[in-house]
């Protein structure tokens, strides 16, 4: 999907949710109202990949304050993290995060921006191909619960495309959230039911875990890259830091000086892959408490980026002439110049482990995150979103999701800044992803770097000889996301990377 608008635009993954956001903008709401409405609608429409029981992260720019903000409404780990946990359920941030955005920056009442999602849940919507396919491929998981059997099957067969799917129980939860605020989701009946269901399944969440949850407003990470001042996610949301490190490492190279786009040039592609991989390694070595220290991180960015570039230059013979730099995602700009890009996720495979409370899928992946933090603390997250400023005005916003969200976001930014591509080309040209893994004999084995199947075989063969291994079989996840570009005349262009 790609579209251009005069002054305001909503770029998300579901047309119905996009229309809801646009309607909010046209009825007196601002970008932040539209984001809350669109994200709430995505929680209803999402094919098990978004959830009110999931985390939320958002990067915001207020045209009046002329400031950028980062909302961290990520997961909290349980206070009893040391105990045996069979399902890995976490304390969600989405309800508190949506309310915080609405109250701090919105123009319309919270209950009004939630109303479209409430009506959508109550009246239902037609299943598209993707939703029907995901029900089919996840049918065994969805059959585990009585709710899943009743909701996603008819005559014991998975619902097909065109069937109407309604969520009246989700409408009730959203109504309670609208009337009572997010406190209902953390101290009310819904929270109590979640705790009861999670503990029944072998989880360790308690009401104390829910009651202690707080969102965090953080100062974004800030870097200069080419002619732009770029703001990014901060704190334990480390995906943005990885992308910033990769950009700063690339800054001393002129990647656009190659004859072709990197997707059609072996050396340019190798440079980006190796820089991205090294940036991810650096970030993975930071301790959670170090990530919390924004002052320390800002001081280390240039030093670490220089180390990344030095290492990559030793691995690649770079010609001297080159020297010179699972979830849904919504991005919105309004006519006042306010901007927001954010991601709501279930942070696991679709529908988690198939556990529902009042129709809302719980983020219970069955896998406890290997880099979990201490008891009752904010969990680490790879969410990545960025906002670029030029001449003190928003020039672009972008965000990515999926297993390959860090390399996807890195490439989105390289495409729009270094190659000066349109939003559509930046999100749809071939790209690489993160390393694919498979389980063998109870051990994870690297299969190779996910690579778009449109990349020429000659390029792949060249890079294989240089020590890079790729994975192009089955589902190839090179990341997804959205970009909005603001043109010199103030018009806006938006596009998504197709699922």
Question: Does residue 63 form part of some domain?
Answer: no
Give the CATH number for residue 431. 3.60.20
The verdict on 151 and 300 lying in the same domain is no
Rounded Cα distance between 279 and 294, Å, is 17
Under 8 Å between Cβ of 189 and 175 = no
User: What is the number of other CB atoms lying within 10 angstroms of the CB of residue 206?
Assistant: 16
Work out the end-to-end distance of the chain between its first and last CA atoms, rounded to an integer number of angstroms.
Answer: 10
Question: Does residue 125 form part of some domain?
Answer: yes
pLDDT at 47: 85
What letter would DSSP give residue 188? S
Bridge partners, residue 493, by sequence: 4, 485
Residues 6+ apart with CB under 8 A from 120: 16, 20, 41, 44, 45
SS3 content of the chain, % helix, strand, coil (to 5): 40, 25, 35
Tell the residue number behind the tokens 């619960």, with chain if given. Answer: 145
Q: Is 366 left (phi over 0), alpha (psi -120 to 50) or beta?
A: left
Give percent of the chain above pLDDT 90.
77
The verdict on 442 and 473 lying in the same domain is yes
What letter would DSSP give residue 189? H
What letter would DSSP give residue 253? B
The verdict on 228 and 210 lying in the same domain is no
The verdict on 92 and 241 lying in the same domain is no
Q: Is the pLDDT of residue 323 over 50?
A: no
3-state secondary structure of 497: strand
The verdict on 286 and 257 lying in the same domain is yes
Structure-token pair, residue 155:
């005559």
Q: Is the pLDDT of residue 321 over 50?
A: no
Query: Could you give the C-alpha distances from 77 to 97, 230, 271, 289, in angstroms and in order?
Result: 17, 30, 37, 15
The verdict on 233 and 206 lying in the same domain is no
Domain count, the chain: 2
pLDDT at 408: 96
Structure-token pair, residue 226:
């080419």
The verdict on 10 and 97 lying in the same domain is yes
The verdict on 148 and 246 lying in the same domain is no
Rounded Cα distance between 492 and 486, Å, is 5
Q: Is the dihedral of CA 133, 136, 139, 141 positive or negative?
A: negative
- Give the pairing of strands 470-471 and 443-451: parallel
User: What is the number of other CB atoms lying within 10 angstroms of the CB of residue 27?
Assistant: 11
Question: Does residue 134 form part of some domain?
Answer: yes
Q: Is the pLDDT of residue 483 over 50?
A: yes
Structure-token pair, residue 167:
């969520």
Span 220-234, pLDDT tens digits: 999 999 999 999 999
Q: Is the pLDDT of residue 326 over 90?
A: no
Q: Is 317 left (phi over 0), alpha (psi -120 to 50) or beta?
A: beta
The verdict on 441 and 313 lying in the same domain is yes
Question: Does residue 450 form part of some domain?
Answer: yes
Rounded Cα distance between 350 and 499, Å, is 14
pLDDT at 303: 95
User: What is the number of other CB atoms lying within 10 angstroms of the CB of residue 467?
Assistant: 9
Q: What is the DSSP string of 289-353?
A: HHHH-HHHHHHHHHHHHHHHHHHHHHHS---GGGB---EEEEEEE-TTS-EEEEEEE--SSTTTT
Question: Does residue 293 form part of some domain?
Answer: yes
Question: Does residue 346 form part of some domain?
Answer: no
The verdict on 299 and 448 lying in the same domain is yes
Element of type H or E holding 271 = helix 266-284
pLDDT at 19: 97
Q: What is the mean pLDDT of the segment spanning 131-135? A: 92
The verdict on 192 and 50 lying in the same domain is yes
Bigger pLDDT: 361 vs 415: 415
Query: Could you give the C-alpha distances from 316 to 218, 272, 394, 457, 464, in angstroms and in order?
Result: 37, 11, 35, 20, 13
Residues 6+ apart with CB under 8 A from 200: none
Q: Is the pLDDT of residue 325 over 80?
A: no
Question: Does residue 374 form part of some domain?
Answer: no
Range of the domain at 12: 2-56+71-215+352-366
Span 389-411, pLDDT tens digits: 999 999 999 999 888 999 999 99
Looking at 67-223, list the stretches that DSSP marks H as alpha helix, in order from N- to C-terminal side.
94-105, 110-123, 129-137, 139-142, 146-152, 168-180, 183-187, 189-200, 207-211
pLDDT at 337: 95
The verdict on 209 and 229 lying in the same domain is no
Q: Is the pLDDT of residue 205 over 50?
A: yes
Question: Does residue 344 form part of some domain?
Answer: no
């Amino acid at each position: 999907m790609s579209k251009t608008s005069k002054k305001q635009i909503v770029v998300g993954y579901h047309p119905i949710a996009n229309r809801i956001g646009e309607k909010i903008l046209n009825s007196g709401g601002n970008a932040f109202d539209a984001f809350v409405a669109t994200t709430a609608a995505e929680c209803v429409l999402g094919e098990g990949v978004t959830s009110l029981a999931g985390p939320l992260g958002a990067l915001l720019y207020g045209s009046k304050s002329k400031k950028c903000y980062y909302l961290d409404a990520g997961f909290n780990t349980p206070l009893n993290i040391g105990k045996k946990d069979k399902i890995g359920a976490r304390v969600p941030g989405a309800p508190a995060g949506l309310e915080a955005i609405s109250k701090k920056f919105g123009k319309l009442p919270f209950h009004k921006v939630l109303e479209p999602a409430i009506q959508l849940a109550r009246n239902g919507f037609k299943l598209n191909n993707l939703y029907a396919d995901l029900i089919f491929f996840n049918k065994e998981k969805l059959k585990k619960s009585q709710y899943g059997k009743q909701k996603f099957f008819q005559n014991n067969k998975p619902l097909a495309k065109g069937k109407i799917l309604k969520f009246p129980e989700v409408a009730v939860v959203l109504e309670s959230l609208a009337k009572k605020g997010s406190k209902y989701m953390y101290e009310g009946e819904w929270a109590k039911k979640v705790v009861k269901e999670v503990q029944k399944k072998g989880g360790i969440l308690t009401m104390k875990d829910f009651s202690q949850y707080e969102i965090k407003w953080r100062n974004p990470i800030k870097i200069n890259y080419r002619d732009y001042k770029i703001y990014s996610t901060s704190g334990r949301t480390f995906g943005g830091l990885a992308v910033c490190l990769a950009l700063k490492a690339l800054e001393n190279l002129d990647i656009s000086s190659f004859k072709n786009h990197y997707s059609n040039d072996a050396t340019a592609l190798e440079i980006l892959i190796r820089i991205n991989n090294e940036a991810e390694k650096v970030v993975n070595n930071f301790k959670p408490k170090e990530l919390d220290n924004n002052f320390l991180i800002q001081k280390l960015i240039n030093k670490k980026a220089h180390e990344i570039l030095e290492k990559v230059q030793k691995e690649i013979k770079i010609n001297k002439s080159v020297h010179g730099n699972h979830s849904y995602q919504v991005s919105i700009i309004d006519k006042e110049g306010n901007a927001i890009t954010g991601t709501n996720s279930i942070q696991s495979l679709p529908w988690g482990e198939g556990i529902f409370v009042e129709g809302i899928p719980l983020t219970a992946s069955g896998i406890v995150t290997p880099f979990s933090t201490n008891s009752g603390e904010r969990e680490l997250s790879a969410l990545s979103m960025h906002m670029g400023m030029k001449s003190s005005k928003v020039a672009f916003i972008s965000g990515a999701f999926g297993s390959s969200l860090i390399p996807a976001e890195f490439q989105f930014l390289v495409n729009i800044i270094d190659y000066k591509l349109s939003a559509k080309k930046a999100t749809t040209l071939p790209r690489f992803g993160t390393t694919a893994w498979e389980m063998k004999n109870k051990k994870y084995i690297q299969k190779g770097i996910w690579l778009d199947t449109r990349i020429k075989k000659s390029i792949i063969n060249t890079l294989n000889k240089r020590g890079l291994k790729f994975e192009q079989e089955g589902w190839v996840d090179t990341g997804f996301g959205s970009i909005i570009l603001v043109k010199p005349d103030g018009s806006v262009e938006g596009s998504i990377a197709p699922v």
